Structure 1
Amino acid sequence: MKTTSAAIKLIIFAVIATLFTAVLAVTISNTQFTANTKYRLIFTDAAGVIPGDEVRIAGVRVGQVDSIKLYRGDLAQVTVSVLKTETLPRSTQAQLRYRNLMGQRYVSLTQGNGQGGALPPNGLIPKEQTQPALDLTALFNGFRPLLRAIKPQDVNQLSYEIIQVLQGEGGTVNGLLAHVSSLTQTLGNRDEVIGRVIDNLDKVITTIDSRDQEVSSLITDLRSLVSGLSGDRKAIGDSLVSVNQLIGATNGLLTQVRPPLKQDIATLGQLSKVLAANGDKLDEAFASMPTNFTLLDRAASYGSFFNFYLCSLDAQIGLPGKVSYNTPQIVNENARCKG
């Protein structure tokens, strides 16, 4: 019993889900199950129209677009299906209009002037009775200065109203102009700021104009510099390569020299301490240098050697182990030593 009840519930759920899915698919695909009549519409431009787009009469959906194909080389034939309950006269006018700013189109059918009877099934509406969609690129290029100066949300609203008015839907030109006036009012309130910007820009341009020779020379020199750099680009590239190699070699040299250089700097520190501690002796030695250099000059006056005459000798010789040895004192009694 439980299995049978569960199976019945599953079947009911599957049927309901299938029905909802079918309804959704039909809604999305704009499929019609009512009797309809096909008509052919000739447009000079049917760009953006796709099968499934709506066909409307007085804003009410009465059919859809079936196909689009080339007609006589430079025209477009749009085949539409219209409810059989709707009879189209031969004077019917067809216009391609925008549903929204995303570019979706629909075909609008309206009553034209004159009678002439009903249009037969698969009848043809010539290009003289059709109108292509607006060229939004050309339209909004004309409004570009205004659209650049207003907020994005205002751009969307204004653009949609422009399309509606120019397509003959909702709103009037007066309403459009009123909206444009409200948007441009903000620009009018900022005329003082805009005026100051223009004045400052005029001063800058005037200054540049007064120094046109300098500016011209600067541009000429800059062009010469760029031309020279362009002409020497190979030499500059080779120089950069050489500089890179030099940096690599210098880096290796510094890596090798750094340890002994560090030791030498430490030794220089010790030497500076010794020299500072014996400053008095150094001063005394430096003071006696002129006299000693005079004597050395006399001793070396005979050539690149020194002549010494030993008059006396009294020395103390230090030996390893803190042992010293005193030499015998020698005294020369020669008259040369007595002078």
Structure 2
Amino acid sequence: MKQRRSPATIGALGIVVVLLATVSAFFLDDLPLIGAGATYRAQFTEAAGLKPSNEVRIAGVKVGKVTAVELDGDKVEVAFKVKDAWVGDQTTASIQIKTVLGQKYLALDPRGSDTLDPRDTIPLERTTSPYDVLDAFGDATTTLDAIDTTQLAQAMETLSDAFSGTPADIRASLDGVTRLSKTIGSRDDELRKLFAATADTSKVLADRNAEFTKLIGSAGLLLSELNSRQQAISQLLTGTQRLSQQLTGLVKENEEQIGPALEQLRGVVQILQDNNDNLDKAIKLYAPFTRLYANIVGNGRWFDQVVVNLTPPALPLIPGYRDPVRTIGGN
């Protein structure tokens, strides 16, 4: 008889399966069949601020990301993953600056005739590390802060006094070094202020990183909108050109009928224009007549008129009955 599993066992197995599926979802890129491409390695003289998860680009297009940055003896070995891009066996790699705040990315220049074997490492001869200006200023600030310029100037003066009996050429050289030391000592406060201002500027730029990122993203949206508007204008111009071609063909096909119709229309317009001129002239001539006639017979804003001879001459001047002059049919 086959033994059935208890509901508790089935539920526990289901929870384990769900947990495994959830955990594996975070490591899909590391799976050999579902991963995001092949993993390569490159050697650099220094990391130059490159970190895991930084972008990998070819010709400015993102094709992968950096997965690890490790120290290998006196070299730095960078592991990166590339997807949907060809990497040749003579490919060169360089660490480039992405933003003004010092963010980096790994740039590849695919070269060669064969595909690069993931087991092969890009050597130092084909890699380049950038010069980090921010780090250089930081190191210079630390070094200058640690120097006691007053003591350095005193040491130079003591050295100059000790060599006072030496030939003139050597004394002149030491005097020059002494003056240089004094100049550096006199400008110590100014240099400290300069490097302090540089540190403040770097801090302000670092604090505004999110705003710079947002500004760059907004610029991308603006360029996208301008591109869509340019496409719309291009389509409008194309449609206008097609409409012009259609109208041109229509005019050419009906040129024989349109010509006489336009001539007749021109004649009608000329007749209407002549009649309009005559009406205008008549109105102008009627104005003086109206003024004179109103002055003669008018009595305000109207004309006084008398209608006479409405009654027949044979009617009596006084009311009364008289016999008709003629009778027709006894009436």
TM-score by length of 2: 0.33
TM-score by length of 1: 0.32
